[in-house]
Amino acid sequence: MADIGKLLSAVKLQLAIVIVLGIISAAITYMAYSGISTVEDMLALAASPVMLVSSVLWLVGLIVIIWAGYVAAKTVKGGAVDGGLAGALIGVISGIIDGIISLAAIMPLMAKIYAAVPMMSGALASAGAISLVFGIIVAAIIGFILGAIGGFIGRNK
């Protein structure tokens, strides 16, 4: 098993791609949410082409994590565990960056939408913080699984 620095240096291109995809997805989501004034508008947005583009960017990010696991396994001459660790690192780092960007951009818009509901802004703030923590944990788990798949494909036989 390789050290963390060697894994990160092997997958820095994939890390940059995943971060850029996350930022673009957050920007698209922000633009979509900025035109919403009611809960009904938000429900209509869920089936819009804008959200389809955001979902496609997310799927491309998952494929890039598999690629990162493959590259990590080839670079450090390892296997699925090394690929999984590289995927988990990408998941955690991009989860932190994208989560903070999403909280900073989307939470004020959500507070505006739910302004008519008393005490909703405090609930939104706590829900946002909790979702950030759970999002990072889930990103690490999904990143490890996808990276392990890529590492298994790229392992030395």
- Tally of domains in the chain: 1
Q: Are 86 and 12 in contact, with CB atoms under 8 Å apart?
A: no
Amino acid, res. 101: I
Asked whether the predicted pLDDT for residue 106 surpasses 80, the reply is no
Q: pLDDT of 50-98, one tens digit each?
A: 888 888 998 999 999 999 999 999 988 888 999 999 999 999 999 898 8
Cα dihedral 106, 112, 114, 115, rounded to 10, equals 150
Whether the predicted pLDDT of 100 surpasses 80: yes
* Mean pLDDT, residues 26-43 taken together: 76
Q: Please say if the pLDDT value at position 111 is more than 90.
A: no
- Residue 120, pLDDT above cutoff 80: no
- Residue 61: per-residue pLDDT: 92
Q: Which domain holds residue 134?
A: 4-154
pLDDT at 36 over 80: no
Q: What is the DSSP string of 44-88?
A: HHTTSHHHHHHHHHHHHHHHHHHHHHHHHHHHTT--HHHHHHHHH
